[in-house]
């Protein structure tokens, strides 16, 4: 019996219930994974729901209804507007307050093998390995249609060479589908794919979750360095430029101190280095790596001592006399 009755009462009730559930989840959970469920069956979705039970909830629905609810809720929480561009195609939500990376990994690891379908775009390359098959000689037409070299061995078809049957991102032909089905090969694996993430009001691509803590720190430090460089160039002071500004100011003060012989605590060390080069050499040796210091010491030990220069005699003047005559 159909759920839709006269007047559409059951249908309206379902929409109202879904609307209330979506609003409840948007207010209850601070994190959302936007998922794509192309080629994912209901049984696989049920398995994912069971695995996530207690950590997250999966909610599917019609895109038109989802957009309408999010626009209305965005009036109270403008950050939700960032989700709107991702509401397209066969999609849904995973709501959670837990570890986003862990949940994403759990969801995408649930893969199910699937047969190829004629006309679909192949997500991966498909190769047929060489060797004997279970097909009888009467089915060689499948191989001939695809220009696959074969021979008959012990009453069965044998493939002579590895065959690149289907190329990634190209349509699967009906001949390739027929051959794969004959060989019992399910070449594709499908899973729920996380396409975007909403976290505490920020929306970003799911690939950001693949970045480790060290990579995030490197990217952050790189961004701060670029900000500081641009700000120093245009003369706009901010927190990123303060360390550089203080360092430059101290460098100028030390230079002035050395030039004017006016000494303060920070410049005293540099003055000592200028007045006592041996002190500077000792400091450099102390700060050098152990290997470098050892190598430097060995090189210094191996270097021959400079010979004493002989005292040169005074040169004769152009008239043949010595300087002492003048």
Domain shared by 197 and 86, yes or no: yes
Task: Order across the sheet with 193-199: list the strands.
Answer: 56-60, 91-96, 31-36, 193-199, 202-205
Domain of 72, in residue numbers: 6-111+191-210
Evaluate if pTM is beyond 0.75. no
**High-pLDDT (> 90) share of the chain, %:** 19
**Number of structural domains, the chain?**
3
pLDDT of residue 58: 93
- Specify the DSSP class assigned to residue 170: S
pLDDT per residue as tens digits for the range 80-134? 999 999 999 899 999 999 888 889 888 888 888 888 888 888 888 999 889 888 8
How many angstroms from the chain centroid is the CA of residue 274? 49
Domain shared by 89 and 35, yes or no: yes
Asked if pLDDT for residue 306 goes beyond 70, the answer is no
Domain shared by 168 and 76, yes or no: no
3-class secondary structure per residue, 80-137: HHHHHHHCCCCEEEEEECCCHHHHHHHHHHCCEEECCCCCCECCCCEEECCEECCCCH
Asked if pLDDT for residue 5 goes beyond 60, the answer is no
- Residue 319 in any domain: the answer is no
Q: Which residue has the tokens 């019996």?
A: 1
Tokens of 133: 């098959």
- Residue 309 in any domain: the answer is no
Q: What is the CATH number of the domain that holds 142?
A: 3.90.105.20
- Residue 133 CA to residue 115 CA, distance in Å, equals 18
Domain shared by 139 and 274, yes or no: no
- Residue 20 in any domain: the answer is yes
């Amino acid at each position: 019996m159909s759920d839709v009755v006269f007047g559409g009462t059951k249908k309206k009730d379902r929409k109202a219930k879904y609307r209330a559930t979506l609003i409840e989840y948007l207010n209850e959970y601070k994190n959302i994974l936007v998922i794509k469920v192309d080629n994912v069956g209901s049984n696989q979705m049920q398995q994912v729901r069971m695995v996530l039970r207690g950590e997250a909830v999966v909610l599917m629905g019609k895109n038109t209804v989802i957009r309408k609810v999010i626009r209305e809720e965005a009036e109270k929480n403008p950050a939700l507007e960032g989700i709107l561009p991702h509401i397209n195609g066969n999609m849904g939500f995973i709501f959670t307050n837990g570890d986003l990376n862990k949940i994403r990994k759990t969801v995408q690891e649930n893969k199910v093998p699937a047969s190829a379908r004629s006309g679909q775009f192949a997500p991966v390359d498909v190769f047929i390995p060489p060797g004997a098959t279970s097909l009888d000689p009467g089915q060689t037409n499948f191989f001939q249609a695809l220009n696959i070299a074969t021979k008959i061995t012990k009453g069965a078809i044998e493939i002579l060479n590895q065959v690149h049957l289907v190329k990634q991102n190209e349509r699967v032909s009906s001949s390739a589908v027929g051959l794969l089905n004959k060989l019992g090969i399910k070449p594709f694996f499908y899973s729920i794919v996380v396409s975007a993430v909403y976290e505490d009001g920020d929306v970003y691509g799911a690939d950001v979750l693949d970045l480790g803590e060290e990579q995030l720190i490197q990217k952050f430090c790189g961004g701060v360095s670029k900000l500081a460089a641009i700000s120093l160039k245009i003369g706009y002071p901010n927190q990123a430029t303060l360390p550089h500004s203080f360092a430059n100011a101290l460098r100028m003060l030390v230079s002035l101190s050395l030039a004017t012989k006016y000494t303060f605590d920070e410049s005293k060390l540099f003055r000592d280095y200028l007045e006592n080069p041996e002190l500077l050499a000792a400091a450099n040796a102390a700060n050098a790596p152990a290997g470098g210091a050892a190598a430097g010491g060995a090189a210094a030990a191996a270097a021959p001592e400079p010979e004493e220069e002989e005292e040169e005699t005074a040169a004769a003047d152009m008239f043949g006399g010595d300087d002492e005559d003048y």
